[in-house]
Amino acid sequence: MSGPITPRQNDQEHASRDFMKDQATLSRRLSQHRDEQLARKALSRAGDPGLILDLPCGNGRFWPMLGEKPNRVIIAAGTSAASIEAASALQPAELAARIRPLQTSAFAIDLPDNAVDSIFSMRMLHRVGDAAQRLKMLKEFHRVTRETLIVSLWIDGNFKSWKRKRLEQRRHLQGPKRDDHHRFVIPRATVEDEFRQAGFRVQERLDAFPLYALWRVYVLCKA
């Protein structure tokens, strides 16, 4: 008879489910492929940094792409050390050996000033709806990175943002049916001003599908 499921086994199963979910459908695979294309281009524009802080690292979906540079070291950061360990266990041994786990918060990163060449932060900023919290996070990124920040978020000025706004207006009239308030479309002018306030300048803007999709990847340099 098998014993009770341990927290570590639970984290491993959760990481495995997330990893497989990202590969489950054609649309997800295409989305992941496009994300990796943009990320690769952003890393090239950032000078192919050798020491990267991946925050939040999630289930390690970007680690194979980040590991394409042979001598790159990846600091994989998140709020759960067990989840990072479980995600690392799903990677090839050669790649896992180059991953340095770090349990930390994006608002108070447990690293010294100028600790990494670049911070790689995908699919997080669009979940921070409060401007003061975004600025706090961006200032912390500015403290820890030596050179660049690569960050993705949802922006306005495209078909998907227009469609989402209309959908939200209809839901407001009908009454809320589900909670979509954990993801936010941020006006481009607003977020670029926040980048400036945090001490960054915009080096590159990379849109997933210009004028259509919500996603944009920014390459930011320390001003």
pLDDT in tens, 97-130: 999 999 999 999 999 999 999 999 999 999 999 9
Indicate left, alpha or beta for 199 from its phi (over 0: left) and psi (-120 to 50: alpha).
left
Quote the pLDDT of residue 7: 46
pLDDT at position 120 is 98
Distances (CA, A) of 9 to 16, 19, 92, 117: 10, 15, 19, 34
The helix or strand, by DSSP H or E, that contains position 219, with its residue range, turns out to be strand 215-222
In this prediction, residue 176 carries a pLDDT of 52
pLDDT at 115: 98
Bond preceding residue 4 cis, omega within 30 of 0:
no
**pLDDT score, position 23:** 53
**What are 52's strand-pairing partners?**
74, 118
Which residue positions in the chain have pLDDT lower than 50? 1-5, 7, 9, 16, 179
Domain 7-222 falls under CATH 3.30.460.10: no
Q: What was the pLDDT predicted at 79?
A: 95
For the chain, the structural domain boundaries read: 7-222
pTM: 0.84
- Name the residue with tokens 């943002």: 161
Q: Other CB atoms closer than 10 Å to residue 164's CB: what's the count?
A: 17
φ, ψ of residue 86 in degrees (nearest 5)? -65, -40
**Model pLDDT, residue 167:** 81
